[in-house]
Structures are given as structure tokens and as C-alpha cells.
Amino acid sequence: KNVKKYFPIKTGLFNRVVGQVKAVDDVSFGIRAGETFGLVGESGCGKSTLARVLLNLKNATDGEINFDGRNIAKVGTSELRKLREEMQIIFQDPYGSLNPRFLVKDIIGEPLRIHTKMSAKEIDDRVVELMQLVGLDVTRRNRYPHEFSGGQRQRIGIARAIALNPKFVVADEAVSALDVSVQSQVLNLLKKLQKELGLTYLFIAHGLNVVRHISDRIGVMYLGKMVEVAPTDELFSNPKHPYTKVLLSAIPQATPNRVRERIILEGDVPSPANPPSGCRFHTRCPFAQERCRVEEPKLESMGPDRQVACHFPL
């Protein structure tokens, strides 16, 4: 609720604060138990920062984050430890996020060593079980990450993320670095694990086509703001926010007779340190009017289960 994350901009020898980047600016939304919530937007729009704040890996500047009825900013150290077990993250880069000097079994078993009192034998058994769950060859557990392909490394990252039986898993661009065919294998694995383990996902990607087949609902972010939230089918068939429409128009069409007009945005994404007045999208919005320059649109309900932040929704 009303989550903000501002970063100070510092300069010079004495780290004088000269401004702030409003990476996440007053975002409110909910993720339902058991669902996959897709979060999309161009790089730099605040998706990853929002995820890290939700996971308590970064402190929020303001706002409230409730997980299972607990405000995570207010829980004590021991409860925070438990929360960390229940909330996990799969990172974007399967190359950079795995320690190259660790054996795969040690990478997957690391959370078990840190968070549990399991014996070495119990950890090894659990690692075998986890590798089977994610479709990795268990006989290769004494090898190093570089001996695995990109898709397999992402499976290693997934096995590590689910080692402690979390309830909530954030996948931050988890398939973005992979080839399209490998992407769909990893997406299918994530779906399978969700069913078997009852996981709830926040699935982050910069494009809509990746989140489409895994998400129940999708939130669209632009420059630190949530601009539209809708069930996946409705977002695709009837986008209400101009920026959502732009993102949709960028997806190549499978059926050439139903060509969607590609909308090209003018200009770059404005700096979140100095966002445009009124609607932050007005400098690039093909539908902008005078009101958009002065008045900020709030995220408001538009029908059941749909929210849009636009003065002139489509």
C-alpha cells in the first residue's frame, strides 16, 4: 500500500545529496495466494526495485507491505528470518547469480545450510530431490555451474529458490537471457512447480509476450508508477492504458491478417530523477491532452478486477 522507494542522488567529494530518484512512487497492488502476477515495463521503470522492497531486501522509503497478514517492515529479527525463508527470488542472470567456485550441490544446498539444522546427509538427499524436481541430472551435482547450459543454470537457480519450501517466489527477468525455446521450457517448469508446491509468483519481464502465458493477472509499470492492472486475457484483448497499448503493439503477430498497428513511442524514457509533471507518460503518449500535463491520474477501478491510471482511458 502506497509503497515508495526513493534513492538519493549524491555528488562530489562530500556526497552532497542533490536530488532523489523516485524509483517506485506510491504503488499499491495485491498479489493473491496461488496466482502468478506478471509485472511489466521498460527497464528502469522500477520493477526490480519494487520486487526487492516487497522481499524486504531493500527498505521502503514509505508505505506498507503485508505478507500473509504481517507488515514486513514491522516484524522482529526472528520473524524476519522466517519471512526470508518464505519469500525467495530467482535472478535474471543465470551466469552471474551462481558462484562459479561452488559445486552445484553446494549452490542448491546453501539456503539449507544457512537456514536449517539439517545434517550433511540430509542436505545431500534434499539436493537430489530438488534437482529431480527441476529436471536436472543428479549425477552432475559435483560439477561447477560453467559446465551447465544457460537453461540448466536457471534450473539450478530455481532449485536453490525453492529449497526452503517458500510460499512466494519472485522471478526477476528469470527467462529473459534465454533462447526462446529454452524460455518456454523454463516457463513450463515454473508452472509445474507452482501446481505441485502451491507457489505464488511475481513474474517480472520487460515485455508482455513473456508474461502472457504464465500470468493470471498483469500489472504495467511506467516510471515508478503502476499504470494498469488487469486479468491477462482482458489486458491483451482490451488494454485501457495507452502505454499498455503501446507495449502490446510491439509484440509480433502470429496471424498476419490481423496485423496490429505498431505504435512507436517518441523520445526516450524520461529520467525518474526528474519525471514529467501530471501524467508521467504525457511526454510520449499519443493521446495526451492539456489536462495530462498538469494533473496526475490516480490508479482507479474500472470495472471488476481492473485498474487504470489515465484521464482518458481507451
Q: Which residues bind Mg ion (CB under 5 A)?
A: 48
Segment interacting with ligand SF4, rule: CB under 6 A, options 9-17, 162-170, 173-181, 279-287: 279-287
Residue 157 partner contact from ligand SF4, Mg ion, none using kind-dependent CB cut-offs of 5 to 8 Å: none
Residue whose CB is less far from ligand SF4, 88 or 283: 283
Which residue is closest to Mg ion by CB?
A: 48
Is 246 an interacting residue with respect to ligand SF4 (CB under 6 A)? no
DSSP 111: H
Residue whose CB is less far from Mg ion, 52 or 240: 52
Query: Shortest Cβ distance from residue 290 to ligand SF4 (Å)?
Result: 10
Is 276 an interacting residue with respect to ligand SF4 (CB under 6 A)? no
Query: Shortest Cβ distance from residue 222 to ligand SF4 (Å)?
Result: 9
Segment interacting with ligand SF4, rule: CB under 6 A, options 73-81, 152-160, 166-174, 305-313: 305-313
Which listed residue (285, 299, 306, 307) binds ligand SF4 by CB under 6 A? 285
Residue whose CB is less far from ligand SF4, 213 or 262: 262
Cell output for 27: 504503488
Residue whose CB is less far from ligand SF4, 141 or 282: 282
Host H or E run for residue 79: helix 77-86
Residue 224 partner contact from Mg ion, ligand SF4, none using kind-dependent CB cut-offs of 5 to 8 Å: none
Segment interacting with ligand SF4, rule: CB under 6 A, options 161-169, 201-209, 228-236, 304-312: 304-312
Give the span between the Cα atoms of 122 and 46, in whole angstroms: 40
Give the span between the Cα atoms of 73 and 85, in whole angstroms: 16
> In the range 25-54, which residues lie near ligand SF4 by CB under 6 A?
none
Residue whose CB is less far from ligand SF4, 90 or 220: 220
Alpha helices in 253-304, H assignment, sequence order:
290-294
Give the span between the Cα atoms of 135 and 221, in whole angstroms: 33
CB-count exposure of residue 273 (10 Å: 0-12, 13-18, 19+): middle
The set of long-range contacts for 148-154, using a CB threshold of 8 Å and a minimum separation of 24, is 148/104, 149/182, 150/94, 150/95, 150/177, 150/178, 150/179, 150/182, 151/94, 151/178, 151/179, 151/182, 151/185, 151/186, 153/94, 153/95, 153/98, 154/90, 154/94, 154/178, 154/186
Residue whose CB is less far from ligand SF4, 171 or 279: 279
Is 282 an interacting residue with respect to ligand SF4 (CB under 6 A)? yes
Beta strands in the chain (DSSP E): 3-11, 16-27, 36-40, 66-67, 70-71, 87-90, 168-172, 200-205, 217-222, 225-231, 300-301, 307-308
Applying CB under 6 A, the residues found at the interface with ligand SF4 are 242, 279, 281-282, 285, 287-288, 292, 297, 310-312
